[in-house]
Each structure stands twice: as structure tokens, then as C-alpha cells.
DNA sequence: AACCAGGCGCATA
DNA sequence: TATGCGCATGGT
């Protein structure tokens, strides 16, 4: 990986297996938006960015080198060799998924945002999840500029009531959001502690929160705690497992099940979309 | 206009 | 431990 400061931007060259648009819009994060010129707009830890991917370079607009190193490089998991990981998949379906969607990476999101987002995701569809999260940020996040809001802190949410959350139109999930925020805010559950736990224990800890079952816990561990061995099974992955892997995931995914999952998830959904278009 | 969505809690057996 | 139901809301 090579990058340099050019004017006010950071320009990244010599990278592999990194497609910003795919990372931003493959169902793991819900707050990125595409600009008209094809660049991607978002904010993490209060920093906004626009990212333009060209043929041989990726431009992080209006970004200092320090912010790139502290925020964006870790966020896009740039130190991990996805090329190597994908090459290790010696299974035809996985190879196919990795070829079709080359450049997907697991985003290292903030733990609370991942937790809260995937609580909202349950029995819900992606467009609506995005809408609810947008309203959550606009209602309770910090205003960063004219049209950007941060993801609200759990301390802020913990002060609210179910009534306050009603405008989000998250339905039965409101009480789950509140329970999660309160448990974190009171220190009943500690993000730093979960970071250090073995994964089995971390799962149990997260599942103490109302509305966090096996699936949401697994998503939180994968996207919020960068536990690549976490393997969320939603309706799509359930389909994949019964259709393609009735005897379980192939051995080659060991330790990076979550990465395999992300490719398979996106691939399987794309097949349904294609079919829908044809009639 | 039904069916379904990156599930979970709860009751029942 | 295992199964089944209801849930708020609205996208397709």
C-alpha cells in the first residue's frame, strides 16, 4: 500500500482487493451514500469524507495524512491481505462469489454503531434499515455540517424514552435500542471488555442485551469488533447453506468465516435481483 | 395487494 | 432443547 498527500487529499495507490463502492454498499454498513460523480460520501468518528475510486488510484478528498492513518486505513481494514484470503478459498462457489465481487472487505465499524445498526436490522429490509438509521442520526447525532450527522452516542440514546424514539418508526426495536444503550452507558456491558473476550464469551455478553440474539451478536462481532471468524446466518446465508453447503462451510474458510459470509451473502442476493429483473 | 425483510422473545411441550 | 407464533413498519 502506498499513499501520499496531494494538495488537500490523500491519494492511495498500489492497493489490492479494495472496491470502495462495494464495501460501502454490500449490506454491512448503512450510512454511505453515492455522489453523482460516483464518489462515496460518509462519516466515521465525526470525520466526513468523499472517496473517489479511479482506475489506478483512490482519492480520499479533503483528508489529512493523519486522518487517513488513524481513521480510514483501519476502517477499510487495509492491513489485511484479502487477495491472499480469497486465493485461499478452494471452493467453486466461493471462488465465483469472490470473482464477481472482487474488492469487498469487512469494514471495521465502531462497535456501538454496528451493534445498534444490526439491532435495527432484525426482520427488516435494507432500504428501510437505512432510513431508520438516517433518522436516528438526524434526530440524535451531532450535526457535522449542513447535511451530515454523526451516529449518536449510546450515552445520548440512554437518556431517551421509547416515545422519543417513536419518530424513527423502528417499531418493536425501539425498546431493544434503549436496552442496549442503557447497558453500555451504565457500564453493565463494556465495549473494551468485549474486545478482549474469547469469542464464545463475547457472544454471551452481547446477548444479555434485549433484542440481541445469535445473528445480531455475530454481526456485531464481525463488523464492530473485526472478529473475522464470526459467521452471521441470516435468511440469505440460511438459503446458501441449505442450497450449497448442507454439510457446513468448507474447511478453507476456517478463521475467516465472516469474510466468506460477506461474499456469499452479497452474491446470493444479487442472483435474486437478477431474476427479478427478467420478467 | 399480499408477501417478506441481514430475528428475537416468549409460551408451550 | 425444540418448535411456533406475534411483532411494527413499509419495500417490492
A158-206 tens-digit pLDDT: 999 999 999 999 999 999 999 999 999 999 999 999 999 999 999 999 9
The yes-or-no verdict on residue A279 having pLDDT over 50 is no
Nucleotide in closest CA–C1' contact with A125: B5
pLDDT recorded at residue A278: 56
Number of helices (H) and strands (E) in chain A: give both, helices first: 16, 8
| Distance measured from the CA of protein residue A235 to the C1' of nucleotide B3, in angstroms | 15
Q: Which cell goes with A182? A: 442503557
**CB contact set of A249 (below 8 Å; sequence gap of 6+):** A231, A241, A257, A260
A102-159 tens-digit pLDDT: 999 999 999 999 999 999 999 999 999 999 999 999 999 999 999 999 999 999 999 9
How large is the average pLDDT for residues A200-227? 98
| Distance measured from the CA of protein residue A237 to the C1' of nucleotide B12, in angstroms | 29
Nucleotide in closest CA–C1' contact with A272: C12
Model-level pTM? 0.97
Bases along strand C below 7 A from a protein CB = 7-12
Nucleotide in closest CA–C1' contact with A171: C8
Separation CA A159–CA A236 (nearest Å):
35
Q: Which cell goes with A28? A: 454491512
Nucleotide in closest CA–C1' contact with A212: B8
Share of residues in chain A with pLDDT > 70 (%): 99
Residue reference for cell 426495536: A173
Bases along strand B below 7 A from a protein CB = 4-9
| Distance measured from the CA of protein residue A231 to the C1' of nucleotide C8, in angstroms | 28
pLDDT recorded at residue A50: 98
Separation CA A168–CA A133 (nearest Å):
8
pLDDT recorded at residue A188: 98
pLDDT recorded at residue A274: 79
pLDDT recorded at residue A276: 66
| Distance measured from the CA of protein residue A251 to the C1' of nucleotide B3, in angstroms | 36
The yes-or-no verdict on residue A277 having pLDDT over 80 is no
Query: What is the per-residue DSSP string for A83-122?
Result: HHHHHT---HHHHHHHHHTTT-------HHHHHHHHHHTT
Separation CA A113–CA A77 (nearest Å):
17
How large is the average pLDDT for residues A240-268? 97
Residues 112-151 of A with CB under 7 A from strand C: 123-125, 127-128, 131
| Distance measured from the CA of protein residue A83 to the C1' of nucleotide B1, in angstroms | 46
> What does each C-alpha distance from A193 to A120, A197, A199, A215 come to in angstroms?
23, 7, 12, 20
Residues 154-213 of A with CB under 7 A from strand C: 166, 169-172
User: What is the rounded average pLDDT for all residues in chain A?
Assistant: 97
Amino acid at each position: 500500500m502506498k499513499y501520499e498527500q496531494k494538495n488537500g487529499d490523500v491519494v492511495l495507490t498500489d492497493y489490492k482487493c479494495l472496491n470502495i463502492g462495494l464495501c460501502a454498499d454490500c449490506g454491512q454498513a448503512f450510512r454511505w451514500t453515492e455522489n453523482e460523480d460516483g464518489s462515496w460520501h460518509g462519516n466515521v468518528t465525526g470525520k466526513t469524507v468523499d472517496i473517489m475510486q479511479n482506475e489506478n488510484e483512490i482519492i480520499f478528498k479533503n483528508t489529512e495524512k493523519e486522518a487517513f492513518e488513524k481513521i480510514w486505513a483501519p476502517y477499510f481494514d487495509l492491513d489485511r491481505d484479502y487477495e491472499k484470503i480469497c486465493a485461499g478459498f478452494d471452493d467453486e462457489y466461493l471462488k465465483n462469489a469472490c470473482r464477481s465481487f472482487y474488492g469487498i472487505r469487512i469494514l471495521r465499524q465502531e462497535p456501538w454503531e454496528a451493534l445498534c445498526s444490526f439491532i435495527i436490522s432484525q426482520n427488516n429490509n435494507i432500504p428501510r434499515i437505512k432510513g431508520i438509521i438516517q433518522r436516528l442520526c438526524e434526530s440524535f447525532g451531532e450535526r457535522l455540517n449542513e447535511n451530515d450527522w454523526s451516529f449518536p452516542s449510546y450515552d445520548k440514546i440512554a437518556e431517551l424514552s421509547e416515545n422519543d424514539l417513536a419518530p424513527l418508526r423502528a417499531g418493536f426495536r425501539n425498546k431493544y435500542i434503549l436496552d442496549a444503550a442503557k447497558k453500555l452507558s451504565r457500564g453493565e456491558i463494556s465495549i473494551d471488555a468485549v474486545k478482549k473476550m474469547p469469542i464464545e464469551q463475547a457472544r454471551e455478553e452481547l446477548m444479555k442485551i434485549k433484542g440481541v440474539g445469535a445473528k445480531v451478536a455475530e454481526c456485531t462481532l464481525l463488523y464492530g469488533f473485526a472478529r473475522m471468524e464470526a459467521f452471521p446466518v441470516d435468511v440469505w446465508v440460511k438459503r446458501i447453506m441449505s442450497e450449497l453447503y448442507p454439510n457446513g462451510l468448507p474447511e478453507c474458510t476456517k478463521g475467516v468465516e465472516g469474510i466468506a459470509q460477506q461474499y456469499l451473502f452479497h452474491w446470493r442476493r444479487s442472483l435474486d435481483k437478477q431474476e427479478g429483473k427478467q420478467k
